[in-house]
Every structure is written in structure tokens, then in C-alpha cells.
Chains A and B, each alone.
Chain A
Amino acid sequence: MSETGKPISRIDGHLKVTGKAMYSAEFNQPNMAYAFPVRATIAKGRITSLDDTAIKKEPGVISVVSYKNALKLKPLDMPAQAKAGAAFLGENLPPLQDNTVHYPGQFIAVVVAESYEQARAAAYKLKVHYAAEKAATDLKTELPNSKKPTKLMGEEAQVNGGKTATPLATSAHRVDNTYSTPVEHHHPMEPHATVAVWEGTDKLTLYDATQGVGLTGAIAAYFLGLPQENVRVIAPFVGGGFGSKGLWLHTLLVAMAAKAAGRPVKLALTRQMMQTNVGHRAATIQRVALGTDTAGTLKAIRHHTDTYNNLTEFFEPSGKQSLVLYKAPVREVTYNVAKLNRGTPTFMRAPGETPGTFALECAMDEMAYQLKMDPVAFRIANHTTQDPMKGHDFSSEFLVDCYRIGAEKFGWSARSMEPRQKRNGNYLVGYGMATATYPGGRSAASVKVSMTAKGDVTVMTASIDIGTGTYTVLAQTAADALGVPVNRIQVKIGDSSLPAAPLAGGSQTTASIHPAAMEACALLRKELATLAIADSSSKLHGRKPDEIGYADGKLVLIGDDKKTDSYADIMSRARRVEVEACATTLPVSGAGLTVPSALCTPREIPAEQNSDSKHYAFHSFGAQFAEVWVDEDLGTIRVERFTSVQDVGRIMNEKTARSQIIGGVIFGIGAALMEATEYDKRWGSPVVRTLADYHVPVNLDVPPIDVHFIGKADPHISPIGARGIGEIGITGVAAAIANAVFNATGKRVRDLPLTPDKLV
């Protein structure tokens, strides 16, 4: 009877393809006005004059908000913010509070008008003068001024500095090379958009394209100085996020503009703003050294990253996977972080692992070639079943199976060790592979479930579906946990007034909310059982709760399936129109992000629901295999086919899970072959500004992608056994492709993306 795991189509698919799914910018309000921001044209300095008198007379203009007249926001105060669940402001720069400029494109004012076009036309005319200062615009130039951060997301940032020098020097085989990755942008299909609606002076509703309604509500409440319960954030549908839809400044800007205008206000960002104001993946320069003995046993791994940040402490953690993969007695992972006057870097799909696996997994390929070992065999020979740093066993780990299954499905044995051995017309053909990995996170979550006497079930939690399938998979879990069909289940998410759930980031939604959903359903059955047991006309009257099971919309006496009582009968005899239950489950300690808003009460936290992080490390693994065709004369690369085998715990829905991996691989093809944002050093501004210059793969760039799952439940992360799946698909992809390009051409390109100019 299990619905879980079935490849059912999205229950919200019909709404999406018929245009009935409402996205943030579509929540038009009566009397709504439109905002358009004005952005700084210098990289660093001060605004010396900002004269809005002329544009206030432009047609339709209602108000102009700048540092001169903006609402005073609560200042930055990390301990206080952390306490309020408001630490993760996209960049630490509450908007319009002073006249300083920290990067080109920074919001410096917002124009509110009757129409979008009027707001935009007036915004273009605002006269601003600046006193510019010398700005930091280039990573390489700023590296001498970089710092060595001590902390990275609460963990030690610098690991074993200097300790690999001797083992590397004495290794029989050594590779030591520098790899670089460019700035990448998230560019979800749906632009960031917010509609702000004030009710009186202290109640605010935000329709906001966000990956976390609770998170956005908490941060907005903190900076606007409102009680958290007075800010409601609604986002029933979000058209992709990839890490860019946390709380960025435009959301506060709209709330401030709406207050100034005394009307609901809408703001949708342009693609150009999305290149600057909602984060990006920072460029990295990574130096990776590996040492082995003559038999190919790793003796040391060293991974150093040079990168930058701006207005947060976050930096691209591209050494992460080098602390997890392979058995090596010594490993050293270090970072230098410069500061640039550039829009602030942030989390982007598999932050760390995406650029990091490119460097490490290319280095592994280079070492395998030096050893004349097969790259798969080399990885299997150095496989670890334990977290090398913590010494814990992995909770559930089938990486070697991923390699073997992948090699077989892909036909890896046809690969020649030496490059340039296979031709097809103008093309050189090559095979490459790489390991994929991403941590298995799990946060606290609350889920409420209600059931009507008619048998309609509603599952409610302040989670988000950013396109991943949250609606569908939650319905499947509830269907199984209650014994009712999926089509009787309605899922309500994307509203901060619902029981708290973590943001949709860090591949943790499924692992976090499903244990809570399952527990809430169990509590709901318990409630029904209590009613039945107490009811003398029930066939279950007087039984003990643990004697009662369930199936097909009924409670059933275990061992005697004639003795049943349907949910509908129980409720109608008890004159109940509805029963409901709410459950909260706790996080993997130290993993994931905390839930900012209220968990449901009464709290129900069964001890056995907690993950066993004392004894186990939670990680997902996979193996990526690519075949490429390289036209050496023209420099063009075609990924001809791709095989991805993933060990991500239990699969909750085979179809949506496959889509996540396919999406990740396509994202990886983009990173490998074409995605990059370049900046002009003189002005610090991006010279890649639209989706015509920021190339993401088109259909013709995407080959058949063959996805396989190990599908074994992780017994230690939760009773559900699923780890997240949103991010791992991208990891290792760029390395698999670059390694295949080497196998095809003998050319080792260590600088992403692999555009035609680098191969011609």
C-alpha cells in the first residue's frame, strides 16, 4: 500500500501548467503602487548629494525613499539577531540607513509610483553625486590583503595548516595544481519579487519569493522592529531559488516603501539586479595537492582556497569535500579570504562542493593518470567508510556501489587510459568520472495534520516548495501514515503562520519535515484511537492503543482485520467535524539551520525520532560519469551522455527525485561549459548582465541523463531514512566533464568554464 517512493506526478503540476499557481509578484492588491530601486553607480564611497525634487514631479510618482528620509531600521547586532532567528540577512547592510556605498549596484533609493513604468522612468532620472574611493574589484589584486578566517559556519575554518608538507614531500607520487572557478549566478526562472501590505502601523504581510517564510518573517520583523507574530510571509509557489532566495535587501526596501507610500507596494527585480543584489557564488582559486605511495594509496590531501566575500562572514567553502572523501592519514584544508566591493557572495547550489569537487576530483584524475591506474579503481582503493575528521562511521554509505553500478551502466570499461584514442569524424571522444558528495542535514520542524469527518486531510507546515516536489512528497508520506489515498490530502505550505519548518536550503527539507509529518499523523491516529476505545459502540472499544493498527481509512485491531472502525464513523459518533495533531521533531545536532519562528505546541518530541549524530556522520554520495565529444578545431564540447548514481538514502518519490538529480547535472553542465560572470576591474561592475550573456544550458546542450539510486534507507538519520537530494546532483559534474575532456584531447583545463577559447 505504500505511496512513498512511487513516481507519482506533482500534485501541484496542474496548477503550474495552467497558470493558476500564484507566485509572489502575482498577488496584486487593491490600491497597489509599484517600486523601482535606484542603484549606486560607484563601487565604493559616499553619496554627496541626492536630489529627488525633480523626479517627485514626474508623472505618477508617489514617493522617493532614500537614506535622507528612510524608516530607521534596527541596527546590526549579531547576538540579538541570532536570538531572534534573524542572523541570515543576505548581506549585513540594512538598506538606506546612510550614504555609504559598498559595491556597484547597491540599492540607494526606491521610487514608488502608480505604475511600474512610471516608477522605472523616474528612477532613471534621479540625480545622485558621489565621492568615490578606491575600490577593491579584483580577487588576485586583493589576495595580499586577504585574511585567514577562523570559523566557517560554526566549525574550524583552517584545518591542519602546514601539516601535509612533509608527507607530500616524501610521497612517491605527487600532483599539485591550481584550479579556478568563476563567479556564478543562481538565476532562478522566477525573479525575486515582493508585495508588501501594511495593516495599521505594526502589522505586515509580505508576499515574497523566498526559500524560507519563517526565516524571512523573522528577519523582516527584527529589522522593522515588529513582534515576530505581526509579520506574515506568504509564498505558496517559488520558481526556483538555488540559494539566492534568502532575505535580501529588496524585501526590506519594499516594506519601507509601502510604509512611506501608505499603500501596498510591489517590487520585482530585473535580471540586472539579480546579477548584483541577491548574491552569487564567489570565484575561487584552489590549489590541491595529493600524495600517494607507489601502490596508489593516498598519504596526504591538501586543499587551499583563495576567495573573497563582502558584507557577510560567509565565504565559498570549497574545501568541504576534502575533509570527507577518501582515506588519507593527513589532510589540510585552508582558506584565504579577501574583501571585494562587489555584491555579496552567498550560498549557491552545493556551496563549497560545487567548485571544490571540481578541484579535488580533477586532481584525483590527474593522480590516477600519473599512477596509470583506472580512476574508478583508484577511488575504490582509497575509499573510506568513516568520516575521516570525526572518526564516526557514515550513517549509511554505498559509495563503492555507486562507482560499480555507474561504471557498468555507463560502459566505463571501454575507456582507454591514454587520451586521444577515440575519434568520430571531427570529434575526439572521451570518458570521465568523479565522485559526488553532500552532507545529510536535518533541522527541527513542526507539522500539523487535520482530518475532517469526510476524510479530507490537510498537512500544514511553513515549509516551501521551490520546485523540488515538497507538496507531492508530503502528501505521499501522510497518505501512508494515515492509510488514505493521496488524492484526499491537501498540502498547505509557504505561509509563516503555519507550524515552523526550516528554509528550503542545504538539502534538508525532506529529512526535516517528514519525520514530523509522520509523527503528527501518528498522533492524529492516536487521537482517533482514544475516541474509539472510549466509545462502547466501537469494535475497538476497550482495547489498548498499541493493539490498534490502521489501513484504508480505518483503525484495525492488530491480528484481527474484521475488527475495524473507520475514521469517518469514529468522528461522526464522537460528533467531531475535525481532529488535528501537531508534532515537532528535532534536528541532527550541529547540522542545518535552526528554525526561527515558533514550533507547534504542545511539543511532542519522541526521543527515538532524533538522529543518532553521536555515533554517525551523515553524508550522501554518488558517482558521475560523462562522455564528451570535443571538436578540437572549433573548441566546442558536447556532453554526449551522462550517468549519475546516487546514494541519498530512501527515495521518497522516484520521479521528483530523478528530476532533482537531472536538474543538478544540468546545473553542473552549465558550470563546466559556460556559466561565468565577468567584472570590469576599473568600475567593479559585471559585464555579464542578462540571460543572453550569462549562458545556462539550452535543451540542445543537455544529453540523455541516466539516473540510478541506491535507494537504501538511512537507518540513523530518521525513521523516514531519506537524506536530502537537491544539491548532490551538481557535485562532481564539472570534474567528470573536465576529466572526460582530458581523456578525449590530452588537454587538462583547470579553469572553469571550459569555453571554446580554452580548447581551440
Chain B
Amino acid sequence: MRPFKFSNAGDPATAITLVSANPGAKFLGGGTNLVDLMKEDVMHPSELVDITRLKHADIEKTATGVSIGGTATNSFTANHELIRKNYPLLSMAILAGASAQIRNMATNGGNLNQRTRCTYFYDVNLPCNKREPGSGCGALKGVNRNHAIFGWSEKCVAVYPSDMAVALAALNAVVHVEGRNNAKRTIQFADYHRLPGDTPEKDNNLKQGELITSIDLPTNDFAERSYYLKIRERSSYAFALVSVAAALSLDGNQIKQVRIALGGVAHKPWRASVAEKWLMGKEATESNFRAAAEAELKNARPLEHNKFKVVMAKKAITRALQGAMQGGVYGLEG
């Protein structure tokens, strides 16, 4: 870890001003990812501005749904009554991620801004365009079983690691950010994270100094039928090989609305819009779920070691939709 300046902001405006003024500065939330990256010399911010004491930690009802604070912890969010009752998909997704200890520290804003766990990104002696633009992508022709099957570029095949964000993508969440001089804006969740393209060093569309103040969850009628399925190599504390956030609302057995988002397959939470379109208005049957999954995965572009993800994702979409039909069960996936 290289020496850095540590600042403690008393209010959001000060924090935003500090980070806006210094291109090398970063906000420090729970630090569960950033501090690791600093220890391994992957990131070396010149200044950290502690935002954990700021007043953005509430979860409250709004006219259009529920707002969750940017600095609220993942644990607080997942276990909050408003979330468990109205957005069980989000609760399930958060609880499928990391460990209890990490969730207790990690903030919602930090969760969205965590970096890929691609080991080429972490090993500073190997090439990585995300860490060091222009150095090449180590994973493209390397060990890439954990990497992307959608949306990757020659520059980067990394996947985005968050579970929480997969649910937020399915729920059409809206990210509220605040920049210097009280400049507030909102970002639709689908536009928050980026595909790698030619600039994999940019994970998302935040500007330097912009702070996530809250995330809005629009009202929906999915609470009865949603499910987060995560396939991983151990029962807990492992990143997804493939995960699926699925939500349905029905009219009889006819699909009125459906949302499907995949994790572990792309540089951002992957909305399965082909499958969603295919299912709209159809009967909620296993064979239709299968056909929709087939349609979505037709566009997959697997790498040398992750062809299994294509098969796995098809089955996972089908199973997640079935899980949603059964009303979802907390903790079924550990």
C-alpha cells in the first residue's frame, strides 16, 4: 500500500468537493474491495475520503417506490422490512453475495462500484487493460473460465462481480448521484455500468467526484414471484459462475411482465431482453422458459474455457423462472 491522505468529511458537499478537486481521490465506504486493491498495489489513490458517517444510510418509502441510501450497508438493506416485503429479489441477491462480515461493512454505493475479480486485473505483473490501459488483456487468451460470454471486447473479457446489481438491473432501479456544486442527476440502472469496448478502465458512467446518494426502486408487482439463483463453486462466499435474477407478474397463467438479468456473464449485469421479449404475453410454462433461455443464449460468445456457461445459463434462467413461479424461498441457495 502506498502512502495516501485520509480525509473525514462531515457532510456530503465537503466529501464531493474533496474528491472532485483531486483526480487521485476516492470515496471510502466499507473498503471491502478498495483496501484490498490498495494492499496489492492494483489501485493507489492519493487520497481517501471517508463517507461512512454521511447521512445517506436510510431506507424509506417514496411516492414511486422505495429509496435505499448509498451509504446504507448491504446487511441493513437486505434485512430491511421494506425490502424483504416489496423487493425480495434484492434481498435474496444481496444475501447471496460475499459473507456476513463483508455485507456488514459493504455499502450499497460501494457495491455498485466494486471492481472485477479477474485475477489478471489483480496480479500487477500480468497485462490488464482495465488496470493499465494498453497493456493487453491477459484473460482473452489465458485462463478465462470465469469470464464473459456476452458483450466482451478484445480489450477486456472481465465480468462484473456484484450480485446486488443483478437484482437492481432486473428491478429497473435508478441511481441518484450528486456532483460538485450540488449538481444532482439520475442514471437509469441499465446505463450505470458499461461494456468494456475500447475503454475497459471505465467500469461505469460516474464522473470523478460524483457520489451515489441513493438508489430508487420503482414500485412493481413482482414481490410474489421473484427469485435469485446463484451457481458457484461452494455454497457461500464465492462469486457466481452464473447467476439469474428473475421476476414475473401474471395474468392467470399468462405472463404480464417479466424481468431477467444475468450475473457472471458480462462486464455489467446482463439484462436478458431477448428472453424477456420472447416471454411477454406467453403462458408461464417450463417449455416456454426453456425456449426463451435458448433464444437469449443464441447471442452468447463464449471464450476458450467458459463454454459451459452457455449451457449453465440456459438451465439457470429456466430454473430461476421456475423458482419465481414458486414464490421464491429465502436462503435456498445458501
Contact = CB atoms under 8 A, between A and B. Distances in A.
Interface of A: 41, 59, 104, 117, 120-121, 124, 272, 426, 633-636, 638, 673-674, 678-680, 682-683, 685, 687-690, 692-693, 695-701, 755-757, 760
A117 B1 contact: yes
Contact of B312 (A679, A689, A756): A756
Interface string B118-136: 0110110110000000000
Given A426-B319, A679-B143, A757-B312, 6 more contacts: A674-B234, A680-B143, A685-B125, A685-B126, A687-B123, A692-B237
B143 A678 contact: yes
A680 B138 contact: yes
A674 B233 contact: yes
B98 to A, nearest CB: 9
B64 interface: no
B235 A701 contact: yes
A688 B237 contact: no
Nearest to B142: A680
B3 interface: yes
A294 B262 CA distance: 53
B288 to A, nearest CB: 17
B145 A692 contact: no
B241 interface: yes
B23 interface: no
Contact of A635 (B3, B142, B312): B312
A692 B99 CA distance: 11
B315 A634 contact: yes
Given A121-B2, A124-B2, A760-B315, A634 B231 contact: yes
The size class of the interface chain B forms with chain A is 35 or more
23 contacts: A59-B3, A117-B3, A121-B3, A124-B41, A272-B40, A634-B229, A634-B231, A635-B308, A673-B234, A678-B143, A680-B126, A680-B138, A685-B126, A689-B119, A692-B237, A695-B238, A698-B235, A700-B234, A756-B241, A756-B312, A757-B309, A757-B312, A760-B311
A448 to B, nearest CB: 44
Contacts of B308: 635, 756-757, 760
Contacts of A697: 234
Nearest to A692: B117
Contacts of B312: 634-635, 756-757, 760
Q: Which of B2, B126, B233, B241 has the most CB of A within 10 A?
A: B233
Given A41-B125, A120-B1, A680-B126, A695 B234 contact: yes
B279 interface: no
Contacts of B117: 692-693
Contact of B145 (A635, A695, A700, A757): A757
Given A121-B3, A634-B315, A760-B308, A695 B233 contact: yes
B27 interface: no
A673 B145 CA distance: 16
Contacts of B41: 124
List of 5 A-B pairs having minimum Cβ-Cβ separation, nearest first: A700-B235, A757-B308, A41-B125, A633-B315, A687-B119
Nearest to B120: A687
Nearest to B127: A683
Interface string B235-262: 1111101000000000000000000000
B316 interface: yes
A700 B100 CA distance: 13
A425 to B, nearest CB: 11
A117 B120 CA distance: 24
Given A124-B41, A685-B126, A701 B234 contact: yes
B65 interface: no
Nearest to A426: B319
B334 interface: yes
Given A680-B138, A693-B119, A687 B234 contact: no
A59 B2 CA distance: 11
Contacts of B122: 689-690
Contacts of A685: 123, 125-126
A427 to B, nearest CB: 12
B149 to A, nearest CB: 13
A638 B117 CA distance: 25
Q: Describe B's contact surface by its main secondary structure.
A: loop
Contacts of A689: 119, 122-123
B319 A682 contact: no
A678 B123 CA distance: 14
Given A272-B40, A680-B138, A760-B312, A687 B233 contact: no
A525 B239 CA distance: 60
Nearest to A693: B119
Contact of B142 (A59, A120, A682, A700): A682
B235 A634 contact: no
Given A683-B126, A700-B334, A688 B1 contact: no
A641 to B, nearest CB: 15
Contact of A634 (B2, B123, B239, B316): B316
A337 to B, nearest CB: 24
A757 B241 contact: yes
B287 to A, nearest CB: 15
A673 B142 CA distance: 23
Q: Which of B119, B126, B238 has the most CB of A within 10 A?
A: B119
A635 B230 CA distance: 12
A124 B40 CA distance: 9
Given A635-B312, A760-B312, A687 B142 contact: yes
A697 B234 CA distance: 7
Interface in B276-329: 308-309, 311-312, 315-316, 318-319
A74 to B, nearest CB: 32
Contacts of A690: 122
Nearest to B40: A272
A633 B293 CA distance: 13
Given A680-B138, A687-B142, A756 B235 contact: no
B3 A756 contact: no
Contacts of B235: 638, 698, 700-701
B315 A688 contact: no
Given A634-B312, A682-B142, A688-B119, A698 B239 contact: no
B100 to A, nearest CB: 11
Given A693-B119, A757-B241, A757-B308, A687 B236 contact: no
Interface in B207-242: 229, 231-239, 241
B236 A698 contact: yes
Contacts of B120: 687
Contacts of B233: 673-674, 695, 755-756
Contacts of B39: 120
Contacts of A695: 233-234, 238
A674 B238 CA distance: 11
Contacts of A680: 126, 138, 142-143
A674 B117 CA distance: 18
Nearest to B334: A700
A9 B237 CA distance: 30
A678 B305 CA distance: 12
Nearest to B122: A689
A696 B334 CA distance: 16
Nearest to A753: B233
Given A41-B125, A117-B1, A757-B308, A635 B231 contact: yes
A693 B238 CA distance: 8
B315 A687 contact: no
Contact of B1 (A121, A634, A756): A121
Contacts of A683: 125-126
A636 B333 CA distance: 11
Contacts of A755: 233
Contacts of A59: 3
Contacts of B315: 633-634, 760
A36 to B, nearest CB: 11
A324 B138 CA distance: 45
A756 B231 contact: yes
